[in-house]
Amino acid sequence: MTARRSLASRRYSDHVLGALVWLSAAIIAGFFVWLLADMASQGLERVSWDFLTTEPERSGRRGGIAPMLVSSLVVLAITFVVAVPLGLATAIWLSEFTRANSPSAAAIRFSLDVLAGVPSIVYGLFGSAFFCIWLGLGYSLLAGGLTLACMVLPILIRTSEAGLAAVPDDWRQGAAALGLTRWAALRYLLLPAAAPALTAGLMLGIGRALAETAVLLFTSGYVDRMPSSWLDSGRVLAVHIFDLSMNVTGGDQAAYGTALVLLALLLVVNGLAIALSDRWLARRITHA
């Protein structure tokens, strides 16, 4: 009788836990749907091909967002061209080439955890002082991209390291027994196995970089003209949304339309990251 009651209690606990998990997922999904529906109802009629390909007029009340869209893509490209190789290399070093009780590795991990929680305005002030003034880049897309790279590096490194650390040590021992070099084991075994974590870190970094406002106000600038190079100043989509909603009377509809484009861009870039990760993993498994 006691065993039956215990079994029934465990089943009841499993059902309750399952219901809570489904409820949490439904709440998150419902919030996203509500947010998307609100933006679509307010800004969808503003989104058109002309809106995407023309320059703003009357402080953004009319016209399009082409300069802001180009500036956002340039800043995002600079950010991840710098951050992804450096972040992945650092994560590999921390996971594969340092001892578990290494004081230097522990200090670096602690520093990364602290940096991941630093407010974005602090990164903006740092980027303005170091990249814009000390390095002489001025207000430019390059300065904004480099500052964002510094901001997303802690997230990329820690998630990538966690993914690599989650790979069982048996895989490393098996690779060594087969005579594989560390580089070969990383390329064909460990990195493909850690691909979901790498993709998660990349998506978190993309989300933070695309939505950032404070950092880019101090580094890439505020002008709404089309940039001719990465050394030009430029206004990204998030800054444009801030300006329309806070400083431009009658700019709410344009702000909603820009926010809808920003969300669509975020979904497209994240989808590409997931697709490339899945393709890379499938190719490695096939070749293996």
Q: H/E/C letters for each residue in 140-157?
A: CHHHHHHHHHHHHHHHHH
Give the pLDDT band (50/70/90) at residue 27: very high
pLDDT at 130: 92
pLDDT at 6: 66
Mean pLDDT for all residues in the chain: 83
Q: Tell me the one-letter amino acid at 213.
A: T
What does the angle CA 221 – CA 85 – CA 106 come to, to the nearest 5 degrees?
A: 100
What would the pLDDT profile of 87-120 be if each residue is shown by its tens digit?
888 988 888 888 777 888 888 889 988 888 888 8
Q: How far apart are CA 29 and CA 21, in angstroms?
A: 12
pLDDT above 60 (res 1): no
Average the pLDDT over each of 75-79, 176-180, 189-193, 274-278 and give the range with the smallest value.
274-278
Average the pLDDT over each of 5-9, 129-133, 222-226 and give the range with the smallest value.
5-9
What would the pLDDT profile of 159-181 be if each residue is shown by its tens digit?
888 888 888 777 777 777 777 77
Q: DSSP string covering the chain, please?
A: -HHHHHHHHHHHHHHHHHHHHHHHHHHHHHHHHHHHHHHHHHHGGG-SHHHHHS-EEGGGTEE--HHHHHHHHHHHHHHHHHHHHHHHHHHHHHHHSS-TT-HHHHHHHHHHHHHHTS-HHHHHHHHIIIIIIIS---S-HHHHHHHHHHHHHHHHHHHHHHHHHTS-HHHHHHHHHTT--HHHHIIIIIHHHTHHHHHHHHHHHHHHHHH--HHHHHHT----SPPSSTTS----HHHHHHHHHHT-TT-HHHHHHHHHHHHHHHHHHHHHHHHHHHHHHHHHHHH-
pLDDT at 288: 52
What would the pLDDT profile of 240-279 be if each residue is shown by its tens digit?
888 888 888 887 888 888 888 888 888 888 777 777 766 6
Q: Which CATH architecture fits 49-287?
A: Orthogonal Bundle (1.10)
pLDDT above 90 (res 146): yes
Closest to 204 (Cα-Cα) out of 163, 153, 249: 153
pLDDT above 70 (res 200): yes
What distances in angstroms separate CA 47 from CA 7, 43, 78, 155, 261, one per listed residue? 57, 7, 27, 33, 8
pLDDT above 90 (res 143): yes
pLDDT at 13: 75
Instruction: Decide: pTM greater than 0.85.
Output: no
Closest to 209 (Cα-Cα) out of 102, 100, 97, 127: 127
pLDDT above 70 (res 26): yes
Q: Which residue has the tokens 């749907």?
A: 33
pLDDT above 80 (res 124): yes
pLDDT at 141: 92
Give the pLDDT band (50/70/90) at residue 2: low
pLDDT at 286: 56
Give the pLDDT band (50/70/90) at residue 147: very high
Q: Say if CB 239 and CB 217 are below 8 A apart.
A: yes
